[in-house]
């Protein structure tokens, strides 16, 4: 749809069979970060993709966990983009699939259309390989890409990217000269609509653990017979009391002193974007999607949006103690565990938060309750006025799509490694096409256009357009 790019589009159309096969090849290579299955082979495969694209450098980056892959494609262009990739996928254990998860067959899905069914189909190997296909077609026709590209890939996204900073650090010199981050995916829903997120919340994943051993009360080493409760303290009750101290009675307002201190109020741009969202956002649809019959505090739409976008949270993701199977075991457990994620919004400093929690617990007789951080991201935000976002939006516009723009997602991602100090890169995600069932059985990525959903060829052409639009912006 961009004048002068017709030969590239034609190349895509003429090579669609090959392009589909390349996506299938990528998906047929397992890369389960949870247990490491296929991770090294997949990293090598991805490296070979960058190499055959013509990247001058393409290498595996060792980390304390699964390897990263980085590549540098120097087009001699004035602009440089950074392109993020996660090449790992979720496990499939115990799941029933209509087509084996690593066969990547094209299946006719009722109500959806023809799609590749595979683990990683939509999250994220399917669209990512489509993006590489688009780059190959550009190079095949025009000899080179219109921008320099720094590829940065990790194999631990599904684990919370614990070592991604090591991958990023390995290319810090190139990052200093980059202009923007451009991430490519497939973001249409079943109706063809697109959402764009201009940032994400920070997050701290951590555990609180009460144990008789650390407490110096209760059973120290193992669960004991519950008759002892009459004379022995319970680490489980101890943890319950510690947890209960952390929030208001409804579990929604965090009671840790100073928790909200640095929370930035929404900016003017934020409020403007929320007003636009308000016109489109339908709480009832969301409530249905998530199986929620009433929102917290029965909030009206505007408040709901502002809370979702701009409020930090303290959420219990799991609690475990003693025996929870069928029937009963007469035990007094020696320890209890709670797992949390704490979401952070703009201007909150992740380094401050667990010390505040520590202080809160210490002041209330819970100095023995152990805090263990599991992982953490900082928040990330990009202005919708940035060049890369505007370039992406203008291409969507060409395709007749008006994305719903969210100033931030409610979730978290390691994008702060690019968008915050020292690189301060603006970031945009782009892509049409559709897939779903990430982390679930029968994950898919649509390959043949149906209704308003783009097929594979159109998805690839869109990537071509975005790249040239940004190059010329």
Residues 359-378 that bind its own copies (CB under 8 A): 365, 374-375
Binding residues among 22-81 for its own copies as defined by CB under 8 A: none
Indicate whether 291 belongs to the interface with its own copies (CB under 8 A).
yes
Of how many residues is the chain composed?
473
Where residue 451 falls (left for φ over 0; alpha for ψ -120 to 50; beta otherwise) is left
**Positions 154 through 193 that interact with its own copies (CB under 8 A):** 159-160
Token pair of 385 as six digits:
């006025």
Distances (CA, A) of 348 to 311, 353, 377: 11, 8, 11
Q: Is 288 in the site for its own copies (CB under 8 A)?
A: no
Q: What is the DSSP letter of 158?
A: G
Site for its own copies in 297-316 (CB under 8 A): 299, 304, 307-309, 311, 313-316
203 binds its own copies (CB under 8 A): yes
Nearer to its own copies, 341 or 460 (CB): 341
Least distance to its own copies, CB of residue 448, Å: 29
Q: Does 225 bind its own copies (CB under 8 A)?
A: yes
- Which H/E stretch holds residue 194? none
Distance CA 402, CA 196 (A): 10
Of the two residues 136 and 335, which places its CB atom closer to its own copies in the complex? 335
Instruction: Encode burial over 403-414: b for 16+ CB neighbours within 10 A, e otherwise.
Output: bbbbbbbbebbb
For residue 167, the minimal CB distance to its own copies (Å) is 19
Q: Is 322 in the site for its own copies (CB under 8 A)?
A: yes
Determine, following the binding rule CB under 8 A, whether residue 214 of this chain makes contact with its own copies. no
Asked if 93 interacts with its own copies (CB under 8 A), we say no
Q: How many residues bind its own copies (CB under 8 A)?
A: 81
Name, in order, each residue with C-beta under 8 angstroms of 131's C-beta and a sequence gap of 6 or more: 83, 184, 431, 460, 463
**Of the candidates 22, 114, 229, 356, which one interacts with its own copies according to CB under 8 A?**
229
Which listed range, 126-134, 135-143, 325-333, 348-356, lies at the site for its own copies (CB under 8 A)?
325-333
Nearer to its own copies, 156 or 460 (CB): 156
> 246-275: which residues touch its own copies (CB under 8 A)?
247, 249-252
Using CA atoms, how far apart are residues 466 and 7, in angstroms rounded to an integer? 16
User: Is the previous residue joined to 364 through a cis bond, with omega within 30 degrees of 0?
Assistant: no
Select from 292, 362, 363, 398 the one that contacts its own copies (CB under 8 A). 292
Q: End-to-end CA distance of the chain, in Å?
A: 16
């Amino acid at each position: 749809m961009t004048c002068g790019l017709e030969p590239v589009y034609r190349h895509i159309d003429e090579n669609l069979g090959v392009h589909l096969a390349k996506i299938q090849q990528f998906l047929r290579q397992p890369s389960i970060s949870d247990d490491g299955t296929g991770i090294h082979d997949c990293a090598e495969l991805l490296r070979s993709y960058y190499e055959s694209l013509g990247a001058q450098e393409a290498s595996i980056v060792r980390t304390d966990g699964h390897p990263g892959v980085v590549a540098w494609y120097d087009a001699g262009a004035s602009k440089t983009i950074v392109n993020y990739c996660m090449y790992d996928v979720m496990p499939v254990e115990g799941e029933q699939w209509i087509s084996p998860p690593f066969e990547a067959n094209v299946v006719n899905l009722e109500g959806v259309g023809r799609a590749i069914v595979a683990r990683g189909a939509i999250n994220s190997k399917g669209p990512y390989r489509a993006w590489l296909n688009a780059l190959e077609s550009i190079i095949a026709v025009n000899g080179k890409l219109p921008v320099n590209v720094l590829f940065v890939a990790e194999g631990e996204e599904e684990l919370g990217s614990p070592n991604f900073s090591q991958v990023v650090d390995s290319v810090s010199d190139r990052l200093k000269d980059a202009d923007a981050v451009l991430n490519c995916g497939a973001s249409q829903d079943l109706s063809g609509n697109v959402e764009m997120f201009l940032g994400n919340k920070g997050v701290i994943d951590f555990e609180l653990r009460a144990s008789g051993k650390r407490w110096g009360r209760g059973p120290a080493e193992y669960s004991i017979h519950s008759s002892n409760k009459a004379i022995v303290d319970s680490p489980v009750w101890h943890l319950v009391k510690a947890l209960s101290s952390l929030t208001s009675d409804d579990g929604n307002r965090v009671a840790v002193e100073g928790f909200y201190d640095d929370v930035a109020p929404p900016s003017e741009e934020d409020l403007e974007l929320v007003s636009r969202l308000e016109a489109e956002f339908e709480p009832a649809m969301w409530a249905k999607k998530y199986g929620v019959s009433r929102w917290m505090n029965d909030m009206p739409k505007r408040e709901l949006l502002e809370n979702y976008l701009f409020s930090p949270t303290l959420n219990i993701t799991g609690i475990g103690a003693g025996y929870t199977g069928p029937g009963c075991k007469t035990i007094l457990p020696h320890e209890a565990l709670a797992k949390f994620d704490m979401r952070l919004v703009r201007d909150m400093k992740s380094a401050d938060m667990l010390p505040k929690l520590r202080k809160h617990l210490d002041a209330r007789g819970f100095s023995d309750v152990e805090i263990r951080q599991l992982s953490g991201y900082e928040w990330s935000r990009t202005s919708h006025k940035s060049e890369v976002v505007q370039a992406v939006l203008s291409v969507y516009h060409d395709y007749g799509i008006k994305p719903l723009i969210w100033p931030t997602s409610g979730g978290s991602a390691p994008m702060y490694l690019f968008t915050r100090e020292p690189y301060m890169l603006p970031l945009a995600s782009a892509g049409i096409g559709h897939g779903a069932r990430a982390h679930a059985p029968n994950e898919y990525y649509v390959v043949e256009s149906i209704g308003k959903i783009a097929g594979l060829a159109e998805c690839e052409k869109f990537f071509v357009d975005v790249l040239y639009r940004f190059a010329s912006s």
